Amino acid sequence: MKKHLLALSIGGALATASMSSMAAANNVGGGDAEALKAQLKQLEQELAATEAKLAEAEADSGGEEAEPEGITLFDDTLKVGGAIRANYAISDSPETGGASQAPEDGGNFSLDTFRINLDYANGPWLGKVEYRWYDGYNFLHTGWVGYNFEDAGQLQAGVNRVPFGPGPYGVSQSWFFDQHYYLGLSDDMDLGVKYSTEMGDWNWDVAYYIGSEGTYTGNTKDSSRYSYDVVNESGDGYEERNQFNVRGVYSVPGDVAIATDVGFSAQYGELESKGVQDDGDHYAGSVHMINKWDNFTLASQLTYFRFDVDSAQPLGTADKVQMGAYDFPNTVASEGWVPAVSLSYNQSTPGIEWLDYVIPYVEYSSIMKEASGFNDSELLTVGAAWGSGGWYIYTDLAFSNGNEFVGGDTAFGDRLGANPDDDWLTRFNINFGYYF
């Protein structure tokens, strides 16, 4: 919040300076006027860059993480920041379920994440790099360079967030996200080029990705990565290639009691075979909406997805696909529908010295599978996010009959695929994050 106010102050100062320069330019002539016009153009570019950074910060606030304050270097063009997070969880899982499943006998407390962030902004040029370390594996989260055009458009090239869904984290505010994330359909980072712009009441994103963000250092062959992708753990499976995305979000105009953004997302990509099976493809389409009134936010989404794969693949079926992230692979149903909804309330707390704001929320999502005999995979989360200075803390109680992070006897199997057990399990989770 403090960062947002600072950005607004900078933007206001630049705008005021621009108007002053324009007035001065109208009262002088010759070389002085040309110099003032050049200064005005530079100020306008700086204002556009500031507004773009503010918009990005607002889009990324809430959900999975807070933005670090960081320190600035090189005439304020480079900001260095980061975060360290620890996690406590207790669930229905026995001790054999592993740390990711949070055993029921006393739970599990561990270091979750350490990350470093670099943010660059110099006139119309900008960039972002984020690298993360976990217990036993590490990976690049983000790495792109960008350019802000004078028409408010922005181009990003590198490992950037795929435009799909109502926001950067789908409908979710919680630490667990919703089930879209585990299908690679929210907060998905891939390698490619994305262009974003505004046209009247519409916000548009178009993108092309040559492939996924890739795998980094870990114990698995292809799953040491942040976001969920089709992975090639066997060496003769599938790899993502040549993905196209388009997203349009329409902000309903007018002075209305309930602010509404309604939109759609579409995605198509190839699955390149590395074995005897034929090449495949994957596609998804989604409609989504965000409604805001007073401090309430209601986010809803409905998505159809399909991974068109050959039964000759290493899994031996066309009804599942191999996906992975966080150094763990798992199987996912190859076709289905995903309804998701969340309701949150953003409450600032000026009367509480040690707390800036709290965001309670309730979220539900489900993977409704097309394959005969497959059980749906549902996830219900009730919780709150707490912000105070550099601290951002999640407290979540999750219930699921098909999520790899909520209970179970074994870690990372087929809960998002056939989900044969179909057992409702519970996990209570506290994630402590300090952002600097």
Residue 68: the pLDDT is: 62
Give every strand in the sheet of 229-230, ordered side by side.
229-230, 320-325, 328-333
CA separation for the pair 125, 46 (Å, rounded): 10
β 259-273/280-293 pair status: antiparallel
β 108-122/137-148 pair status: unpaired
Residue 410: the pLDDT is: 65
338-352 pLDDT tens trace:
999 999 999 999 999
107-156 pLDDT tens trace:
888 899 999 999 999 999 999 999 999 999 999 999 999 999 998 899 99
Which residues of the chain, if any, have pLDDT below 50? 1-30, 45, 47-63, 96, 98-99
CA separation for the pair 222, 216 (Å, rounded): 8
Residue 221: the pLDDT is: 97
Q: Are 194 and 206 in contact (CB under 8 A)?
A: yes
Buried b (16+ CB within 10 A) or exposed e, 262-297: bbebebebbbbbbeebeebbbebebebbbbbeeeeb
Facing residues of 85 across strands? 113, 433
CA separation for the pair 343, 362 (Å, rounded): 6
Residue 13: the pLDDT is: 38
CA separation for the pair 86, 70 (Å, rounded): 19
Predicted model pTM:
0.84
